[in-house]
Amino acid sequence: MHLSKATVRTEHASRYLQQLCKHWSHKFSVDFDPHKGRVPFNDSAEVTFTADDAGLTMVLSVADPAQQVRMQGVIDDHLKRFAFREELDIVWTD
C-alpha cells in the first residue's frame, strides 16, 4: 500500500470530518465519530481522518500508486466544497 498524508489547519476539523464521512456514507461503509473517521472507497483505496484542535489530518492509502493523485484530488475537492468559507492549504506528502 502507498500512503500519503495531509494536515490541514482549521478550527472546524471535526465538522469537516463528519460532513465528509456523512457524504460518503451513502456510497461506502463509513465509520466515524467527531474525532476520527474511515472511508473505504474500495478494496484498494481508503482515507482516514483525525480531527483535533489544530486541524484535520488525512491519510490516504492506495494499492496502485496511479490512483494516488486522483484520489487526493477527489478528497481535496470535497473538503474545499464543505469548507468554502475558508481558504484551506492542503498539501499531501508521501
3-state helix, strand, coil in the chain (%, to 5): 30, 35, 35
76: in domain: yes
pLDDT of residue 78: 97
Quick: pLDDT tens for 23-70.
999 999 999 999 999 999 999 999 999 999 999 999 999 999 889 999
- Residues of the domain holding 29: 2-82
24: in domain: yes
94: in domain: no
8: in domain: yes
88: in domain: no
CB within 8 A of 90, min separation 6: which ones? Answer: 6, 8, 76, 79, 80
DSSP E strand stretches across the chain: 2-9, 31-32, 36-42, 45-51, 55-62
pTM for the model stands at: 0.95
48: in domain: yes
Any idea what the CATH number is for the domain that residue 28 is in? 3.30.310.50
